[in-house]
Amino acid sequence: MSSEITAITMPKWGLTMTEGKVVGWLKQQGQSFAEGEELLEIETTKITNVMEAPAGGTLRRIVAPAGATLPVGGLLAVVAPEEVAEGEIDTFVAGFAVPEPSADAEADTEAARPRELEAAGLRLRYLALGESDSVPALLLHGFGADLNTWMFTQPALADGRRVVALDLPGHGGSAKQLDRADAESLAAIVDHALNALGIERLHLVGHSMGGGIAISLALREPERVATLTLISSASLGPEINAAFIDGFVRAARRREAIEALKLLVHDPALVSRTMIEDVLRYKRLDGVPEALAAFAKEWFPDGRQRVALSDAVAALKLPVQIIWGRDDRIIPVAHAEGLASHLPVHILEQTGHLPHMEKAGEVNRLIKRLIENHA
């Protein structure tokens, strides 16, 4: 009856993940669970993430305890009905081998490499995942981030759909020099990028400053946008945590970066050393401090957001949803609560400014649902 025995294996979240560390199990051995229930926490290159059950079942054997580090595809646990004998589980565990990467998987890895395009004279890095005839999606990251912020979101959405994550100018692997950093200019650059990618209509997802740019793009070309998801978005009210912006722009050393980054999330313990190191590596690149200072000056002069577009967002004639963390310490959740009542607002508890990383499963479901309802 070994067909009833299934393996829970180390997932691959993000391009660079080759192994993961088990932080802790949220289900005990012997417990039953439904599809989508939280099984365990896994430390990744950026943040500790919860792995949800791909299907329902009974957790018969935890193979990788807290603290264990496994390669992607490694055996975390065994799921099987209660009537399966212990001996059969033993045999399954003993016979389990981490699958060798197939030629297909290698081709996938090759396809999943970031590429570059040229938009309005700027070299921009992007990552495209998935392929389909349905309307593609575009993901826009926030201030100081890059396309890797979507490491949990992009693969989940790319199931049967083309999903592009773009590095904004001054960010990630894109050109660091930019003439203008305001929302309209950036929306125009994203517009050029979409043309270069051959994307007409799209589902638009923006986080923080990327949300502000998404709003500008939607106002500029509403007929092009099939749905709009704004996560902890800028441009919906005047408040912004100026100490974070200043601290992030200034941080050149690890201690300073940690001080700034821990404001981003509800539970700072979730932030991994690699995430801090990645931020520092980005900030050390020539041109980045100047680019960040230009963004900060344009978007958040004197510790306030320059642009407030909540009325314009409320008037948009397209499906819009807002996602926010209750404990956001960068842009207050009040900006979501203050929006027109006809807009669907999802406020996630025990979540900071990075809902798509802190509560990846929930945010992915919300985005998917909106996209699928307006396919």
Interface residues with another protein (CB under 8 A) are: 176, 252-255, 273, 281, 284-287
Work out how close the CB of 271 gets to another protein at its nearest, in angstroms, rounded to a whole number.
13
Residue 22 main-chain phi, psi, to 5 deg = -75, 120
Alpha-carbon dihedral sign for residues 98, 101, 104, 106? positive
What is the C-alpha radius of gyration for the chain, rounded to an integer number of angstroms? 21
Of 108 and 277, CB closest to another protein: 277
Of 180 and 253, CB closest to another protein: 253
Work out how close the CB of 9 gets to another protein at its nearest, in angstroms, rounded to a whole number.
22
Neighbours of 336 (CB within 10 A): 24
Of 55 and 252, CB closest to another protein: 252
Are 139 and 130 a contacting pair, CB within 8 Å?
no
What's the rounded Cα separation, in Å, for the pair 242 and 226?
Answer: 33
Of 287 and 344, CB closest to another protein: 287
Work out how close the CB of 251 gets to another protein at its nearest, in angstroms, rounded to a whole number.
11
What's the rounded Cα separation, in Å, for the pair 13 and 182?
Answer: 32
Of 15 and 219, CB closest to another protein: 15
Report the alpha-carbon angle 23-17-73, nearest 5.
Answer: 75
Work out how close the CB of 176 gets to another protein at its nearest, in angstroms, rounded to a whole number.
8
Of 273 and 304, CB closest to another protein: 273
What element of type H or E holds 282?
A: helix 273-284
Work out how close the CB of 178 gets to another protein at its nearest, in angstroms, rounded to a whole number.
15
Structure tokens at 80: 């099987």
What element of type H or E holds 362?
A: helix 360-373
Work out how close the CB of 281 gets to another protein at its nearest, in angstroms, rounded to a whole number.
7
Work out how close the CB of 252 gets to another protein at its nearest, in angstroms, rounded to a whole number.
6
Where residue 36 falls (left for φ over 0; alpha for ψ -120 to 50; beta otherwise) is left
Work out how close the CB of 108 gets to another protein at its nearest, in angstroms, rounded to a whole number.
19
Of 273 and 374, CB closest to another protein: 273
Using DSSP bridges, classify how beta strands 57-62 and 32-33 pair: parallel, antiparallel or unpaired.
Answer: antiparallel
Q: Is residue 299 packed enough to be buried (19+ CB in 10 Å), middle (13-18) or exposed (0-12)?
A: buried
Q: Residues 235-245, buried b or exposed e (16+ Cβ, 10 A)?
A: bbbeebbeebb
Work out how close the CB of 151 gets to another protein at its nearest, in angstroms, rounded to a whole number.
16
What's the rounded Cα separation, in Å, for the pair 314 and 332?
Answer: 18
What's the rounded Cα separation, in Å, for the pair 225 and 99?
Answer: 41
Q: How many residues does the chain have?
A: 375
Of 65 and 301, CB closest to another protein: 65
Alpha-carbon dihedral sign for residues 366, 372, 373, 375? positive
Of 248 and 299, CB closest to another protein: 248
Of 80 and 279, CB closest to another protein: 279
Work out how close the CB of 40 gets to another protein at its nearest, in angstroms, rounded to a whole number.
20
Which SS3 state, helix, strand or coil, does residue 259 take?
A: helix
Structure tokens at 264: 């981003």
